[in-house]
Amino acid sequence: MAGLWTPVTGVLTAIVEAWIAFSIPNSAAFSAVLGVLGATLAMIGPGAWSLDAWLFGRKHIDPPEL
Does any domain span residue 65? no
Number of domains in the chain: 1
Domain that holds residue 48: 2-54
Does any domain span residue 14? yes
pTM of the model: 0.64
Measured distance CA(57)–CA(26) in Å, rounded: 45
Find out whether 59 and 52 touch, Cβ atoms under 8 Å.
no
Does any domain span residue 21? yes
| Predicted local confidence at residue 16, as pLDDT | 92
Q: Over the stretch 12-47, which tens digit does the pLDDT of each residue have?
A: 989 998 898 888 878 788 888 888 988 888 887 777
